[in-house]
Amino acid sequence: MSNNQLGVLHALDAAKTQWYHFTAIVIAGMGFFTDAYDLFCISLITKLLGRIYYHDEKDHKPGTLPPNVAAAVNGVAFVGTLTGQLFFGWLGDKLGRKRVYGLTLMLMVVCSIGSGLSFGDNPNGVMATLCFFRFWLGFGIGGDYPLSATIMSEYANKKTRGAFIAAVFAMQGFGILAGGIVALIVSFTFDHAYKADPYWLIGQKSTVPQADYIWRIIVMFGAVPALLTYYWRMKMPETARYTALIARNSKQAAADMSKVLNVELKPDEEKIEKIITAPSNSFGLFSKEFAKRHGLHLLGTTSTWFLLDIAFYSSNLFQKDIFTAIGWLPKAEKMSATHEVYRVARAQTLIALCGTVPGYWFTVALIDHIGRFTIQLIGFFFMTVFMFALAIPYNHWKSHNAGFLVMYSLTFFFANFGPNATTFVVPAEIFPARLRSTCHGISAAAGKAGAIVGAFGFLYASQSQTKPDAGYPHGIGVGKTLMVLGAVNCLGFLCTFMVPESKGKSLEELTGENEEDDEHKQTTSIEKVSAA
């Protein structure tokens, strides 16, 4: 224990893994389960939205979302998420983690339901209403990133802190998987209850009127896990690091953690006064001192998260287009609307089950053994390798679907056993308590800026060089787009060298919050010499 560390914080750092750790993981993790479900379920229903609302009688193919509508539907939640990450990240440092935590969850509940109830006099009206609710849904989701990461890092012990934060984030994998499973169940039920022939046989009649309920049920289901978690979030005490180091109430911090840890903790009134008045604990986000101490770290966390999410979100959101391009999914005109949702959901569920979910839990198992830095380097390296392996012989994979799917699953495995997890973990550890939520929000917002680039960029870039979809300009094709994503991953590998290793250290040791100012150190040294 550092001589300058508060007893309550040392107790948290040294605590054995207890029931409250797992409770915190579930409470924070269910938010991420909901986040992932809400963000990624849209990719399961965009083709259905096109069939229902944008059918053209003159076209021999089912309706598709116009480019501007598709971009808005896919990307508006990310814009909301980016805004929410910045706003709630800042608010979490100003008002406290707990006070803001319930607000983000209720926003997600209301907007999930609102998304499913989107109505209008015409197709554009329905899409505009959907986009409105998905923006505010994203805004709530954005708040969950910095708050969940910060709460878990401040509750965890230093030995297994990485695994606990990664476990919260790993619930994202189950959220993606749940989205696919819910879509499978709903589409299977409707497909059997309201049978329809493929589009090429009966045209628009292949989209039964009841199909409009499918996408609404899928998006509204996201409110369920959020509602189930709300009560327990409100029961969580504020983190001791916020209460002691920011609110400056060591008595309350000791009382809260005494209940959580089931031990008697005494407040350190004198010690806390020394810590919070030291110059090393008074600099702000836009100060020279912050730039000197943490500027490179913030550049590292923002750049790596930005680059990761360009590749991760474009690959996730447009799986259905990639699967169609390589021939794993039949062409749209060879399926009915309900069966198309089923086939898309089945494909995405398989990828989540084989690549996405296992990758997260490999990180949980190994992050406190081999470290964040190593896992991030490994992940970016293999993502680069597999993206290039898919892109360079792209035409070969069109006739070898199974091989493509294995390679594609491995890119998701190494994204999650790699930078998708570590970019979430590290910003919650390496910045001072008074700026931790803000800096995590900034890092996460940089990631969502990358997701926006990926969502909009892939939509246009992946279009065929000869026969683009209706309304789209000519693109560079899926193969060359995968090549670009491989280069982006390579840049992420290089930017990782700006991110420090945080394994096995206390938060205060990482951030320098236990440091005494130089004047105090000199005075202490003189006193020791005089005594001698």
Express each pLDDT in 220-279 by its tens digit: 999 999 898 888 888 888 898 899 888 888 889 889 898 888 888 888 777 777 777 777
- Model pLDDT, residue 110: 95
Number of neighbouring beta carbons within 10 Å of residue 122 = 9
Specify if 527 maps to a domain: no
- Is 522 among the domain residues? no
Q: What is the pLDDT of residue 515?
A: 60
Over pLDDT 70: what percentage of the chain? 94
Helices (H), 41-160: 42-53, 67-95, 97-116, 123-155
Higher pLDDT, 462 or 138: 138
Q: 297 Cβ partners below 8 Å, 6+ apart?
A: 430, 431, 498, 499, 500
- Exposure string for 391-417, b = 16+ CB within 10 A, e = fewer: beebeebeeeeeebbebbbbbbbbbbb
Q: What is the mean pLDDT of residues 328-346?
A: 90
pLDDT at 348 over 90: no
Domain assignment of residue 3, yes or no? no
Give the domain extent around 197.
9-269+285-513
Measured between alpha carbons, how far is 493 from 490 in angstroms, rounded to an integer? 5
Whether the pLDDT of residue 63 is over 50: the answer is yes
Closest CA to 50 of 280, 212, 230, 276: 212
532 is a domain residue = no
- Which range, of 38-42, 51-55, 404-408, 412-416, averages the lowest pLDDT? 404-408
At residue 365, the pLDDT reads 95
- Any domain includes 2: no
- The structure's pTM equals 0.88
Model pLDDT, residue 523: 34
CA distances from 121 to 125, 342, 354 (A): 6, 28, 42
Cα–Cα distance measured from residue 475 to residue 528, given in angstroms and rounded to the nearest whole number: 72
Domains of the chain: total:
1
Higher confidence at residue 382 or residue 31?
382
Residue 350: name the closest of 409, 421, 398 by CA.
409
Give domain status of residue 363, yes or no.
yes
Residue 280 inside a domain? The answer is: no
Confidence (pLDDT) at 321: 66
**CATH number of the domain residue 178 falls in:** 1.20.1250.20
For 290-310, how does the pLDDT look when each residue is reduced to its tens digit (9 = 90+)?
999 999 999 999 999 999 999
In a domain, 274, yes or no: no
